[in-house]
């Protein structure tokens, strides 16, 4: 197995936790893995990307353009921004949430309305999930990221019990129950 | 046991296993997580120091006393700590002293792209550079041995992609280390007479090391089928392995001093040599000065980061063509409810000249607030404002204000404040006290009343400190109270002498920040004034009215205060 995943979103959306779960998943299936994270300024609502590379042997922590097997986007505009990284026949998983960047908030740019149309120009399959709704139903918007991962786990046909174990290793005991619920709901919404 | 660690974590893990007694640092991306990780270990006395110079001095004290110590900082932090670095390099150590410094090519979170390797040359201090987390741990442990063996502090250089990438690390056990303190005035008291003697020692040990380094196994040769030889270190090695798998590679583990003899031998067996390095042509120039022919910066350039993609393009001429989507940019912004926002709104409204500083509040220089006019280095807001008055006269300080965060003020603002009072300035200094070091991920500092280990400690009182420095006009305001902020700023600007305003309210991401409400908008008159706050929770609709994203809003009610038509109302407990 060789898997290059780009996890993209907006600073504060929980991309770091998501990538850590993939890292622990890699450990559980005995693969090499590198994760490249974004800390610092961009975490304040900027565009953020985490690179996840899983293989028998991984060298660089980054993924080149057109080399990602999967893009997991926590926000629609970010899916489009990073779409150039998807390889032909890749998978783009999009959480249907819109967070307006400052140029759109102040009216200097328009938030694109043709995101899915433009994503369809890539030779990749696009899968949508409304994870914000799931998290809202469960009463904690911070679980949105785990709901997206549940969905991704199902789409990517990863081993579910192993993935759940990876979540257990990555989140605090306090939030585990809620996170597992969010995972199941996301997993089930395929 | 294996663990998936950041390069930063791995440095701390290595230091822990090497038996360090002390870890000291001032936060700075991408080095912050080193000391956060070290602080988890009970056996290590860890601290957030006031600044990097202090952190270094804490480290050198520990070293002299006989306890191994780790100090950590970002590249610009080493500028602040350069003074003790250059001189402790003369003294040398008792127990090992290792300095972890993280460079930031590409400036993900920094104000410049300086190259720390020149500090190693200039201070005559050995420098190691790991290429993944396992090496970050191993090299840190090695650095302590080298530090004691060669009687010198040793630098571990990281870059963002090593510091902030996770890979697997084999976890080992801690070996305690303790040495006796032996007074040695000729070694540690660098009066000129003693320093001259130490300078001779520095040169001797450096000559020895420059010889020995040729047999260190952390410098590795990997012969490929391709006879072009690449010389590289750190993350570049990983990119080269991805991009040019059949090339011959000289992977450096020690970047200062360079294993010149071993590289010569490598070069002799290659048809051509290319040095691939980020930032300055340090390796390239050193090789050329030693008669080794090579290519370098004419291919790779001086700016930004490299990647396997770029290396393929530069060396193989293979360019990945893909459609570049034209989409709105997403720069970082202050959080919804951030206490800094209203202050900058007022500063913009008053059309003041604002000398600024570094932190989350630096985002006050961006659209739509546009209210911070300079950001140079930590502390320059205060002394810079004083310099402006020196150049332009006393009245200038009636329209000029220095804005500085609480952590930054403790780091470097206090000295500037004392300087201004002493030199009869009339500047106004606005301290944004959000009770945390926000930008780097919320570390404690001397104003928060908590240590790095979350123990209670004395909380520095900024108002009382200012008074003690001789500031006559000190005021404290709540930054959510825009009227009070405006009134206080206007009053303080008019006063003679130095004025200080402390704008006090915790950062909304802290647990101690109260969870508030949410707003709803009814009967918006489409004037757009609230959009001037640049709040990520307010957005402009197509019909020019505004709406609120209730998932982001925390009910700070600043927008209610700027709305002239009374259309914004509180929804109690509405925040999600
Ligand atoms: C010499 C130096 N050390 C560290 C940093 C990294 N750094 C930039 S801003 C900052 C702290 C900001 O904290 P504060 O002043 O409290 O402002 P806040 O982010 O909380 O608004 C740090 C540690 C730096 N830029 N320069
Ligand atoms: S982290 Fe705190 S200080 Fe930084 S922008 Fe957010 S609310 Fe403001």
The fold adopted by the segment(s) B2-214 is Rossmann fold (3.40.50)
Give me the CATH number covering residue A53.
3.40.920.10
Q: Enumerate the β-bridge partners of residue A127.
A: A93
What does the pLDDT read at residue A5?
A: 98
Report the pLDDT value the prediction gives residue B287, as an integer from 0 to 100.
98
Tell me which architecture the domain covering B517-572 has in CATH. Answer: 2-Layer Sandwich (3.30)
- A182 in Cβ contact with A147 (< 8 Å): yes
pTM: 0.97
The beta-strand segments (E) located in B22-164 are 22-25, 45-48, 69-74, 97-103, 127-128, 154-159
Q: What is the pLDDT of residue A40?
A: 85
| CA-CA-CA-CA torsion sign (A88, A90, A91, A92) | negative
Kindly identify the ligand whose nearest atom is closest to the C-alpha of B440. Answer: 1
The answer, yes or no, to whether residue B512 has pLDDT greater than 80, is: no
The answer on pLDDT for B61 being more than 70 is: yes
Burial code (b: 16+ CB inside 10 Å, e: under 16) for A48-70 equals: bbbbbbbeeebbbbbbbbbbbbb
CATH of B340-504, one of 3.40.50.150, 3.40.50.970, 1.10.10.10, 3.40.50.2300: 3.40.50.970
> Is residue B572 scored above 90 in pLDDT?
no
- pLDDT, chain B, mean: 96
B33–A39 C-beta distance less than 8 A? yes
Q: Which of B75, B408, B432 best tests ligand 1's pocket when mutated (most atoms within 8 Å of CB)?
A: B408
| Cβ-nearest to B536 among A35, A45, A59 | A45
> Looking at residues B281-293, what average pLDDT do you find?
98
Contact B139, B13 (CB under 8 A): no
Q: Which domain holds residue A48?
A: 3-188
Residue B322 has pLDDT above 90, yes or no: no
Is residue B342 a contact partner of residue B370, using CB atoms and an 8 Å limit?
no
Q: Please check whether residue B158 is in contact with residue B263, taking contact to mean a CB–CB distance below 8 angstroms.
A: no
Assigned token pair, B448: 């928060």
Distance CA B462, CA B468 (A): 10
Cα A82 off chain centre by = 12
Query: What is the share, in percent, of chain B residues with pLDDT greater than 90?
Result: 95
ipTM of the assembly? 0.96
Q: Where are the beta strands (DSSP E) in B505-563?
A: 518-521, 538-540, 546-548
Q: Does B167 touch chain A (CB under 8 A)?
A: yes
Task: List B568's β-bridge partners, or say none.
Answer: B521
**Topology (CATH level 3) of domain B220-316:** Rossmann fold (3.40.50)
The mean pLDDT of chain A is 96
Considering its fold, how many domains does chain A have in total? 1
Please report, for chain B, the start and end positions of each structural domain, with discontinuous segments joined by +.
Answer: 2-214, 220-316, 340-504, 517-572
Residues of chain A contacting residue B166, judged by C-beta atoms under 8 Å apart: 20, 23, 33-37
Domains B2-214 and B340-504 share a fold: yes
DSSP B330-375: ----PPTT-HHHHHHHHHHHTT-EEE--SSGGGGGGSTTT----B-
């Amino acid at each position: 197995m060789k898997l290059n995943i780009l996890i993209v979103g907006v600073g504060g959306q929980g991309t770091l936790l998501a990538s850590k779960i993939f890292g622990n998943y890699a450990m559980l299936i005995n693969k090499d893995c590198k994760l490249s994270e974004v800390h610092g300024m961009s975490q304040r609502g900027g565009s953020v990307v985490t690179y996840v590379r899983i293989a028998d042997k991984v060298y660089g922590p980054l993924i080149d353009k057109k080399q990602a097997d999967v893009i997991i986007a926590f926000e629609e505009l970010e899916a489009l921004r990073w779409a150039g990284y998807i390889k032909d026949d890749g998978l783009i998983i999009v959480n249907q949430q819109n967070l307006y960047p400052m140029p759109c908030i102040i009216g200097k740019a328009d938030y694109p309305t043709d995101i899915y149309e433009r994503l369809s120009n890539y030779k990749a399959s696009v899968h949508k999930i409304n994870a914000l709704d799931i998290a809202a139903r469960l009463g904690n918007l911070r679980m949105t990221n785990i709901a997206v991962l549940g969905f991704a786990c199902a789409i990517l046909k990863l081993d579910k019990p192993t993935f759940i174990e990876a979540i257990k290793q990555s989140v605090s005991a306090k939030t585990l129950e809620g996170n597992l619920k969010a995972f199941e709901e996301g997993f089930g919404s395929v | 046991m294996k663990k998936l660690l950041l390069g930063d974590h791995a440095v701390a893990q290595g230091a822990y296993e090497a038996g360090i007694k002390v870890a000291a640092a001032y936060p700075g991306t991408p080095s912050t997580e080193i000391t956060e990780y070290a602080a988890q270990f009970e056996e290590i006395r860890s601290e957030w120091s006031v600044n990097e110079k202090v952190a270094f001095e804490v480290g050198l004290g520990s070293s002299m006393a006989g306890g191994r110590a780790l100090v950590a900082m970002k590249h610009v932090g080493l500028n602040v700590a350069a003074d003790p670095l250059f001189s402790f390099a003369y003294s040398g150590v008792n127990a090992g002293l290792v300095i972890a410094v993280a460079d930031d090519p590409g400036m993900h979170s920094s104000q410049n792209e300086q190259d720390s390797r020149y500090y190693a040359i200039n201070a005559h201090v050995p420098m190691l550079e790991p290429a993944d987390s396992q090496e970050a741990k191993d090299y840190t442990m090695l650095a302590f041995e080298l530090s004691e063996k060669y009687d010198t502090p040793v630098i571990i250089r990281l870059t963002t992609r090593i510091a902030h990438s996770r890979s697997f690390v084999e976890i080992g056990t801690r070996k305690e280390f303790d040495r006796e303190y032996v007074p040695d005035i000729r070694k540690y008291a660098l009066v000129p007479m003693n320093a001259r003697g130490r300078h001779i020692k520095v040169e001797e040990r450096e000559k020895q090391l420059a010889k020995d380094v040729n047999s260190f196994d952390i410098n590795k040769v990997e012969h490929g089928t391709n006879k072009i030889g690449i010389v590289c270190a750190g993350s570049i090695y990983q990119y080269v392995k991805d991009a040019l798998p059949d090339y011959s590679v000289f992977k450096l583990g020690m970047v200062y001093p360079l294993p010149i003899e071993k590289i010569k031998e490598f070069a002799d067996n290659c048809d051509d040599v290319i040095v691939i390095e980020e930032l300055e042509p340090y390796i390239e120039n050193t090789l050329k000065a030693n008669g080794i022919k090579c290519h370098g910066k004419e291919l790779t350039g001086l700016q930004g980061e490299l990647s396997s993609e770029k290396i393929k393009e530069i060396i193989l001429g293979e360019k990945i063509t893909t459609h570049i989507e034209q989409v709105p940019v997403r720069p970082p912004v202050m959080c919804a409810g951030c206490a800094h926002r209203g202050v900058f709104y007022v500063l913009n409204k008053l059309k003041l000249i604002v000398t600024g500083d570094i932190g989350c509040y630096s985002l006050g220089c961006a659209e739509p607030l546009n209210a911070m006019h300079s950001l140079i280095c930590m502390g320059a807001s205060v002394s810079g404002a004083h310099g402006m008055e020196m150049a332009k006269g006393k009245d200038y300080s009636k329209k000029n204000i220095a804005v500085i965060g609480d952590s930054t003020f403790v780091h470097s603002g206090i000295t500037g404040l004392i300087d201004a009072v002493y030199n009869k300035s009339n500047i106004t200094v606005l301290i944004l006290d959000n009770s945390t070091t926000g930008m780097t991920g919320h570390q404690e500092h001397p104003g928060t009343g908590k240590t790095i280990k979350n123990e209670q400690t004395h909380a520095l009182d900024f108002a009382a400190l200012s008074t003690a420095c001789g500031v006559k006009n000190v005021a404290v305001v709540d930054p959510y109270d825009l009227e009070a902020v405006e009134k206080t700023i206007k009053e303080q600007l008019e006063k003679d002498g130095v004025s200080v305003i402390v704008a006090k309210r915790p950062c909304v991401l802290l647990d101690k920040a109260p969870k508030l409400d949410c707003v709803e908008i009814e009967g918006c008159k489409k004037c757009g004034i609230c959009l001037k706050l640049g709040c990520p929770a307010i957005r402009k609709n197509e019909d020019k009215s505004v709406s609120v994203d209730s998932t982001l809003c925390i009910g700070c009610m600043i927008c209610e205060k700027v709305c002239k038509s009374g259309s914004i109302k509180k929804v109690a407990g509405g925040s999600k």
